[in-house]
Amino acid sequence: MEPKISVIVPVYNVENYLKVCIDSITNQSYTNLEIILINDGSIDKSGEICDQYAHNDSRIIVRHQENKGQSSARNIGLTLATGDYIGFVDSDDWIELDMYKTMMQIGLNHQLDIIECDINVSRNGENTNFKKPGILKLENTSQAVERILKSTQFSVCTKLFKKSIIGNSRFLLNKTSEDAYFVVENIPKSNNIGYYSCPFYNYRSNPNGTTKSPYNLKRFDDAITSTLFIKSKWTPNTSSCVDSLKQDTDDKLSNIVLSFVLKELMYHYKMLNYYPELDKKYEHRKRLKKLIDTNYFKSKSHNKELKQAKKLSIKSFEVIISINKFKHKILKTNQFS
């Protein structure tokens, strides 16, 4: 008997995309699936669509709940899941038909605990990159951490997890970076990870998605908290670091972790200068400036703006960003004039 995969799909107001998503799962060439649809308080026809599919396919389980967010829906799915492996698909996305068959073959052939594929970002409902041949890379924990940090690809949807690896792990509620927390907790539990570079997972770029909402302090706070969490868990040779990374004394990995941290800090340091009304008293920028100074390390790879942020005062850096913002506005005006 082939191992069973539980595929967890949180559903919320996606009636225009949901059938494509579910069809891509039910039509998989790998058939031993348990498909768990969690209708998270949809007010459109998404819940009805879920029920219709469950009526026609015995592999589908549907649960309806009041709107509590994606993390809550996924956690319900994890509680219900009986599969040997766990996968996730977001309800406005879709997957290629051989995704799970290929990933399971790789996982079983190499006795992997986590198998990951590449992702395709689609703006027109197509995957033009799918014909590119994939390359398999077998990784230990440190190698996987290095790759994920460099690509910043924390999505759980590109990964298949052995259920035994996940254990009692659950998604944090009310966080915009819930995938990052989940991946950071679970990657170090395995020494056998496989990355296959074929873009089996199709992410639909949704102009109404949460990542497209205006920059705000909620996004800022969640991002900084998750970034510091990643540092605490994935920096070698720290007392808070998980055992599987304590053995790695390679300065290269430490610098990769710090480079990721500095990149995230810089992004939000700049954004708060682009939207100064969110930080009128400079309290958030003071915090970020201190964090940048604390995590800074000498490297030729640092860009000009990071060096300026380290060297200049907060108000001096604000002036530079204001000038750049003005120049960008002029260029954009001239472009469309």
Which of 203-207, 219-223, 268-272 bottoms out in mean pLDDT, i.e. has the lowest?
203-207
Each residue of 192-220: pLDDT tens digit?
A: 999 999 999 999 986 555 445 689 999 99
Which whole number is the average pLDDT over 172-187? 95
Per-residue confidence (pLDDT) for residue 240, from 0 to 100? 46
Listed in sequence order, the DSSP H helices in 27-98 are 46-56, 70-80
Per-residue confidence (pLDDT) for residue 205, from 0 to 100? 81
Per-residue confidence (pLDDT) for residue 239, from 0 to 100? 45
Per-residue confidence (pLDDT) for residue 279, from 0 to 100? 97
Per-residue confidence (pLDDT) for residue 286, from 0 to 100? 97
Rounded Cα distance between 240 and 40, Å, is: 35
Residue ranges covered by each domain of the chain:
5-210, 214-335
Per-residue confidence (pLDDT) for residue 245, from 0 to 100? 59
Position 330 confidence tier, pLDDT thresholds 50, 70, 90: low
Per-residue confidence (pLDDT) for residue 334, from 0 to 100? 57
Each residue of 40-78: pLDDT tens digit?
A: 999 999 999 999 999 999 999 999 999 999 999 999 999
Rounded Cα distance between 211 and 209, Å, is: 5
What count of residues does the chain have? 337
* CATH topology assigned to domain 5-210: Spore Coat Polysaccharide Biosynthesis Protein SpsA; Chain A (3.90.550)
Q: How many CA atoms lie within 13 A of 212 on its CB side?
A: 6
* Among 63, 65, 117, 61, residue whose Cα is nearest residue 93: 117
Question: For the chain, how far is it from start to end, CA to CA, in angstroms?
Answer: 65
Is the pLDDT at 237 greater than 90? The verdict is: no
For the chain, give the mean pLDDT.
Answer: 91
Per-residue confidence (pLDDT) for residue 75, from 0 to 100? 98
